Amino acid sequence: MSLSLTLALSACAAVFAAVFSSVLQGAWQRSLLCLLLAITGLLAIAAGITGLTDGGGAILLPMGLPWLPMHANMDALASFFFLVIGSLLLPVAIYSQGYLRGEERLTPLAVFMPLFVLGMLGVVIADDAFTFMLFWELMSVSSYFLVTFKHENLENRKAGFIYLLMAHMAGLLILGSFAVLYAASGSFEFSAMREAAISPFWASVAFLLAGFGFGTKAGVVPLHGWLPEAHPVAPSNVSALMSGIMLKVAIFGFIRVVWDLMGPGDFQWWWGALVLAAGSSSAIIGVLLALQQHDLKRLLAYHSIENIGIILIGLGLSLLLAHFGHLTLAALGLIAALYHTINHALFKGLLFMGAGAVLHSTGTRDMESMGGLIHRMPWTAGLFLVACLSISALPPFNGFVSEWLTFQTALMAPQLGGALLTAIVPFSAAMLALAGALAATCFVKVFGVVFLGHARSQLASDAHEVDNWMKAGMAVPAVLCLLLGLLPVMFIPLMDSVPQLLLHTSLAGSVHEQGWLWLTPVDVTHSSYSAPIILIGMLVLGGLAFWLLHPKGTSIRRSVMWSCGNPHTHARMQYNATSFSQPLRRIFAGIYRPEEHAHIERNRHKLLTDKVTYVVHVGDMAVKYIYQPIGKFTLFTSKLLQHEHERGIHAYLAYTFFTIVFLLAVFI
Amino acid sequence: MSSAFVQMLQAILLLLLAPLAAGFVSTCKARLQNRRGASVLQPWRNLRKLFGKEVVMAEHASWIFRTAPYVVFTATVMAASVVPALLVDTPLSLTADVIALVALLALARFFLALAGMDIGTAFGGMGVSREMTFSALAEPAMLMSIFVLSLGAHSTNLTTMINHTLNSPFALHPSLAFAFVAMLMIAVAENGRIPIDNPGTHLELTMIHEAMILEYSGRHLALMEWAAMVKLMLFATLITDLFMPWGMTLEASPAGVSLALALWIVKLAGLLLALAVIETGLAKLRLFEVPEYLSGAFVIAFLGLLSYYMLEVGA
């Protein structure tokens, strides 16, 4: 058994052991849970790195069904996702040690958090459809209990129900996809599915089933309705895991089925175009809806939709280019998507942990009652800023590297098929640019409204900094965000075994042909980027400017802010989350369809205004036009069948009898 | 002369000429409006005055407010020094391609916007909200117009793109014409000039850029103003690089560099004069007509892309 497989299986064992922390009480329970989760994280990182460098191995586990033992395989793809899971699980475990302090009812978390992580690790390492689905369901069901952790709120129970329903719809579609592959290969084992030839029609069926199934779980527009409901209501450390890793496991499943089990030979041109369209629309709709939120965690959940869209743009480009035989560029697209996968895991994990710190300290998720937190929570503010810069794709942080690689893939795409198909590629790149710029707008709003300005409520002015565990938990991904942004040339060769496995192409040679300082995806005349030089240049220039301009030994004079001469300023005069996004609400009114109500009270005289109220609600179009009609239709049809349920036992016996007769008539 | 020396020379020239360029535009505008106007050196004098003044900061300004001028200034200068002005192949042009250049400017804007939100005045928030909204809409148009050029050159490195234009025979490409118009429109918007924003006004209904830096004073304000001037120079140089690089030198010889310098100044003067004429001739757009202007620029750039694929790629 290879080293990486040993490490991976011990990670699974460690996380399973963490379930038994539920027998303990209080602080011991919390410490053991967090310790074992941290150990799992470390083991997963080690397993991922050794698997990527030395190659993994397969093993037949002595459990499972009698005729179908569990197959585990630690190949390059599984190793990479182990690395993704581990690198967020470790900081979240450290953070939880502080975050869960004072939580009275720990036992549900102590049972379901390890099971949830075990589910994700199991999906990644699975090498047959049965094991895959088993762990997939474990992941979905245990995360349901985490979403409904605070089940005393009606909102949480509702969110949990929608989540469970959608997760099982997704599970059913994925099962259908495996059924198609089973029919082609005659076996549940992935190795047999890889070998089997599949007709183009059935390949497309399997692709569509997998696409919709994994797409639902990943939150692709318009299947995303559950995501902004479920992610905000879970405890923040769980939200970080759900948004940071669980969505990535869905991306993993999609890559596993389409790239690995089917392979580039089966790709058709419209697969890539469809994924590209889904990715572009998810990116744009996700960020546009995020801009209109004032619940901090809900806003972050919409950003997950946007980032899944960016990952899908990379994957769509890879599909399209692989179909037309440009395997090097397809590998670049895949690398860009995978790079964004780990980047998003890190910065979104950090953002949710930061939101958790703010929630912990102020007790609210509503941005309209925050403000000025940078003075009371300086550490959280600084670390949160790193995540904001990363997610807004600004150099020298990591988000920029993966978006840059996606742009490069799109721009280097040669002529494909017809002019229209060729034009889709740069168009999706332009949509990526729009999404990136809107994300920057949104995070200026988040950071500006939450951390800058004046406190908008007593809750915000009474806020306090969080403890060292939480700070340390947030510091780890912040450092990783900067490192992944500065040293992509060292990290991409590590990931390179994934395209080697899936597309039989390597990028390692071209990526660092100019040394570790320069990232050159194809060659240096095409494009190059050097984050270290930019950072050093900026530090030198900025330091020089500061040193030259800053008068020594004097402190800056402070005075009141300028308020047009009006001495009566109030914190509510500041721009808030709703007013910040007003221009966009007006520009994209066709997409938002905002319901606005302005009411002016004039009790004394028609020229004297007493009170102005303004209420705006921006709903989610997908929920309004897809989910609600389906829900209504289901209710309507079940009403029609309702009276059939009210009959006596003999009617039920008759139903059973006729069903059996029918089945016998059809199948024998 | 080594190429590193020319790189330094060019970066310093960009920094020093930037206030002159701003002064040149306002002098031209004054003359076009039948006024004498201030001297071309006025922006220089303003900067010198501001550098000598004391800084006054609002009571609860955080470290973001203090560091933002330095970040904005260095990111803008870093972006500007990546753009080749005289020599085609400069050492720094490898560190960032056009996309990274746009991202560096976005970094500067991000901190400018955060500083605007830091004090918590309604003006700051208003300016930030508008600036971020419009710049987000400008971004796809800008990249689309760059894509048109980089598709022909098969590269996003400025050096390779300039070489491609220099080495291909002069022909009127419809795609380039579309990209040029789109790029000019975006350059006007990104630099906050009429018809998008008026740098000379403090009228709250229309103010964008000025609203964000309203709380700054002394050296901080000087750095912010200087960064804005460098950005104008950067865009002018970028347009000359991408669409009319003729005259730029391939090797760092004194004769080549001085010819390139002379031509660069002439080209910049031409562009800035055009800007002055546009600013004099047009009125400012209403705020909610700006998105139409920007989406117009995007459509024009996209037409350029389509005409590239349909008319030029096979020819």
Please enumerate in sequence order all residues whose Cβ is within 8 A of that of A550, keeping only pairs 6 or more positions apart, or say none: none
Angle at B282 between CA B279 and CA B288, to 5 degrees: 110
Show which of residues 23-82 on chain B sit within 8 Å of chain A, judged by CB atoms: 51, 54-64, 66, 70-71, 73-75, 77-78, 81
Alpha carbon B117 to chain centroid, angstroms = 23
**For residue A664, how many other CB atoms are within 10 A of its CB?**
9
- Put simply, the answer to whether A557 touches B55 (Cβ < 8 Å) is yes
Contact map slice: B 224-263 vs A, CB within 8 A: none
Work out whether strand A611-617 and strand A68-73 pair parallel, antiparallel, or are unpaired: unpaired
The DSSP bridge partners found for residue B57 are A558
Domain residue ranges of chain B, discontinuous segments joined by +: 3-137+160-172+200-282
Pairing of strands A68-73, A58-65: antiparallel
Q: Which residue of B has its CA nearest to A401?
A: B100
A524 touches chain B (CB under 8 A): yes
* B contact residues 285-304, partner A, Cβ 8 Å cutoff: 287-288, 291, 298, 302
Shortest CA gap B294–chain A (Å): 12
Contacts for B196-199: CB closer than 8 Å, 24+ residues apart: B196/B134, B196/B284, B196/B285, B196/B290, B196/B293, B197/B284, B198/B284, B199/B228
Best of B139, B221, B225, B293 to substitute, by most chain A Cβ atoms within 10 angstroms, is B139
Which residues on B lie below 8 Å from A441 (Cβ)?
A: 132-133, 135-136
Taken as a whole, chain B contains a residue count of 315
Q: Say if CB B116 and CB B128 are below 8 A apart.
A: yes
Structure tokens at A394: 């600004």
Q: Tokens 């949480």 sit at which residue?
A: A156
Confidence (pLDDT) at A628:
87
Q: Reply yes or no on whether the pLDDT at B315 is more than 50.
A: no
pLDDT digit string, tens, across residues B33-70: 999 989 999 999 999 999 989 899 998 899 999 999 99
Packing angle, helices B3-32 and B254-281, rounded to 10: 30
Contact, A47 vs A82, CB < 8 A? yes
The answer to whether A528 contacts B157, with C-beta atoms less than 8 Å apart, is yes
Average pLDDT score over residue span B156-162:
90
B306 in A contact zone (CB under 8 Å): yes
For residue A236 the two structure tokens come to: 């923040």
Which residues of chain A carry a pLDDT beneath 70? 512
Strands in A138-212 per DSSP E: none
3-state helix/strand/coil string of A115-149: HHHHHHHHHHHECEHHHHHHHHHHHHHHHHHHHCC
Q: What is the pLDDT of residue A569?
A: 83
Closest chain A residue to B94 measured between Cα atoms?
Answer: A528
Encoded tokens for B52: 């000598």
Q: Name the residue in chain B with its Cα closest to that of A588.
A: B291
DSSP for B172-231?
A: --HHHHHHHHHHHHHHHHHTT-TTT--TT---TTT-SHHHHTTT--HHHHHHHHHHHHHH
Q: What's the pLDDT at A550?
A: 82
* Average per-residue pLDDT for chain B: 90
Among A374, A392, A556, select the one facing B64 at the smallest CB separation: A374
Name the pLDDT band for B314 (thresholds 50, 70, 90). Answer: low
User: DSSP 3-state assignment of A530?
Assistant: coil
CA A357 to chain centre: 19
The owner of tokens 């800007």 is B275
A546 CB neighbours in chain B (<8 A) are: 70
Beta bridge partners of A70: A61
The 8-class DSSP code of residue B285 comes to P
**pTM metric for this prediction:** 0.95
For B104-150, what is each residue's pLDDT tens digit? Answer: 999 999 999 999 999 988 889 999 999 999 999 999 999 999 988 88
CB contact under 8 A, B100 and A529: yes
A&B contacts, CB < 8 Å: 246
Measured between alpha carbons, how far is A181 from A203 in angstroms, rounded to an integer? Answer: 8
User: Which of A390, A404, A425, A561 is the best mutation test for B, with the most CBs of B within 10 A?
Assistant: A561
Q: What is the pLDDT of residues A510-547, one digit of tens each?
A: 776 777 778 887 777 788 889 999 999 999 999 999 99
Q: Pick A454's closest partner by Cβ from B66, B107, B120.
A: B120
Q: Please report the residues numbered 162 through 201 in chain A whose beta carbons come closer than 8 angstroms to any beta carbon of chain B.
A: none
Q: Is A3 on the interface with B (CB under 8 A)?
A: no
User: Chain B contacts of A555, Cβ < 8 Å?
Assistant: none
Nearest CA in chain B to A422: B309
Taking the CA of residue A224 and the nearest CA in chain B, the distance in Å comes to: 24
Which residue's entry shows tokens 């997409």?
Answer: A591
